[in-house]
Amino acid sequence: MRKSTRSLLGVATILLLAVATQAWPGQQEGSYDALLARTRSLLNQRLPEEAVQPLSEALRQRPDSVEALWLMGVLSLELGRFEEGVPHVTRLIELTPEETQPRLLLGALLEPLGRVDDAVVQYREVLVRDPYHRDALMAIGKLALQAKDEVAAGQVIKSLVARYPTDPGAQILHGRFYAFVGAYREALLVLQSAVLLGPSDPLESAEAQYLLGTIYAELGQVDLARKHLENALQLTPENSGPSILQLGLLAASQELAEEALTYFERAVELMPEDARAHFRLGEALQYLREMSAAEEVLRTSIMLNPELPETRLQLGMLYLETSRNDAAFAELTKAAALAPDNATIRHQLGRAAMKIGDEPTAQREFEAALQLDSFHSEAYLALGNLIVRQGQSERGRSLLTRFRDLQRDEATIATMVARVSETPSDPVAQRSLLSYLLDRDRHEQALNTVVSWIASELSACNDLSEVYKAALPVSDDPSAVLLGLGQLMLECNNPTGAITYLEQARSSGPANIERLLILARAYDQIGQPDTAARLRTEAQALRTPR
């Protein structure tokens, strides 16, 4: 749930407009003064549209009036006329270069125009004048998270919470950061602390509840997830779209298709310009076999945001299901261009290539899917059948054997997961499932499962760490086991132990961004920020194309 740019400025827009003249002393006289008085009167009546005409006339008479420029900038933000507001606030900054509020306002206008880098420049100019300016730090931290820049976000947010430890907004952003890096236990603790601080802004309270709901949903805690999402709905019913969308996802995860559909339909009504809401609605309609309606909604999603690969994937699968194979191939090719590292997209593109008789492309795509996900059973089946058909019977049989083994594993895992779900705190069932996952080298699934248990306070850390340690000497991938054990120690609030295992993992394999960032978190927790900063710099260097 993204806070509005108006909230970013720290005050409600109408109130800001009503008192804005106090920020720029020196009343004007004559017609100009009367026009501003008329403007203020309209704003106090909450009639911003009607205020544009007298304010525009005032600016025509006094184009360099800081008072009128400021009012026009904030009014442009309120009315969503971002492009119109930029030149007014730019001129205001030229007249008052040392003031910080106009720079915050300009950044807030630039963000929705997609000029994020220019917005960050303005926020950093605020920090030059006031290094601990709360709103500027918040804005930069949020934008870094949106850009998925873990290093930049971590640095800014750390500075923010150190300066404002009891600020609910700062703590909520800190929680968002922890959730982003997968540190769910820390995220829950920080967000619960933010709720206890009692934010005065309903938007902040709702955001905390929303984030708690999404994290509990990620951890499979359905009842807690629903409770917090419904709390968010009650706090800000006028901004309920994101929470309703998440409630739909929660229903879909429980295979409550009709309930999910109802939520998604409501989300689209509330957020008609949100491409993801349309995507989820289209996905639900397709699941319910309402193909024509699903296609229409998915096309709308693509029109709203052509860069969402998941929407193109869904539409391509719909075309395959309705035997429009050429259209499927074209759509899935576009999806693969947007997300070449998505194994599901590459597999579906291979299927479409087979349907149109392009076996070389199909083989390439199936093999790419398996390179990206060595547990993608359907890709083994598709590639095995293709290879056998080409006369390579020995390799084909090997691939099909792997498919059957994975199918058996998945069935066994599903049974074990169901058993754990029936008795979620049973240590024997937990250890059996974790041991099975590690034995089959399903390290990512094992770690996600363990993190969920710990964050939900369902497991003892010692029990789980013993399972990892037992798996280490017999594993074909000891580096992955060490990485998992290090992350487990970190989740269990044992950063020293985490460093021991993570450093072993680091020395036993090639440089890895994920490992470096997790190690940096551990060094931060033991009070070695310089080492943590160096590790984050190394991670950034690996991420940056040479």
Which domains does the chain show, CATH number per domain? 1-147 (1.25.40.10), 308-415 (1.25.40.10), 423-543 (1.25.40.10)
pLDDT computed for residue 355 by the predictor? 97
**Position 482: which residue type?**
L
**Position 380: which residue type?**
Y
pLDDT computed for residue 150 by the predictor? 82
pLDDT computed for residue 544 by the predictor? 60
Exposed / middle / buried, residue 441 (Cβ in 10 Å: 0-12, 13-18, 19+) = middle
Contact 24, 71 (CB under 8 A): no
pLDDT computed for residue 221 by the predictor? 87
**E strand intervals along 143-223:** none
The alpha carbon dihedral of 5, 11, 13, 17 has a sign of negative
Instruction: Kindly state the DSSP code that residue 201 receives in the 8-state scheme.
Output: S
Rounded Cα distance between 189 and 405, Å, is: 40
Look at residues 344, 488, 370, 365 and name the one whose alpha carbon lies nearest to residue 430.
488
Contact 208, 199 (CB under 8 A): yes
Rounded Cα distance between 541 and 535, Å, is: 10
- pLDDT tens, residue order, the chain (546 aa): 433 333 434 333 433 443 443 434 444 444 888 898 898 888 888 888 998 999 999 999 999 999 999 999 999 998 999 999 999 999 999 999 999 999 999 999 999 999 999 999 999 999 999 999 999 999 999 999 998 888 888 889 989 999 999 999 999 999 999 999 888 888 999 999 888 887 777 888 899 999 999 999 988 888 999 999 999 999 988 888 999 999 999 999 999 999 999 999 999 999 999 999 999 999 999 999 999 999 999 999 999 999 999 999 999 999 999 999 999 999 999 999 999 999 999 999 999 999 999 999 999 999 999 999 999 999 999 999 999 999 999 999 999 999 999 999 999 999 999 999 888 889 999 999 999 999 999 998 998 898 888 887 888 888 899 999 999 999 888 999 999 999 899 888 899 999 999 999 888 877 788 888 889 889 988 989 889 888 888 887 886 654
Neighbours of 459 (CB within 10 A): 25
Look at residues 215, 150, 207, 155 and name the one whose alpha carbon lies nearest to residue 186.
215
Neighbours of 98 (CB within 10 A): 9
**Position 308: which residue type?**
L
Residue 529 backbone phi and psi in degrees, to 5: -65, -30
- 412: which residues sit within 8 A by CB, 6+ positions away? 436
216: tokens are 């509990």
Query: In 3-state terms, what secondary structure has residue 460?
Result: coil
Rounded Cα distance between 271 and 269, Å, is: 6
Which residue's structure tokens are 């922890």? 178
Residue 65 backbone phi and psi in degrees, to 5: -75, 115
33: tokens are 């003064």
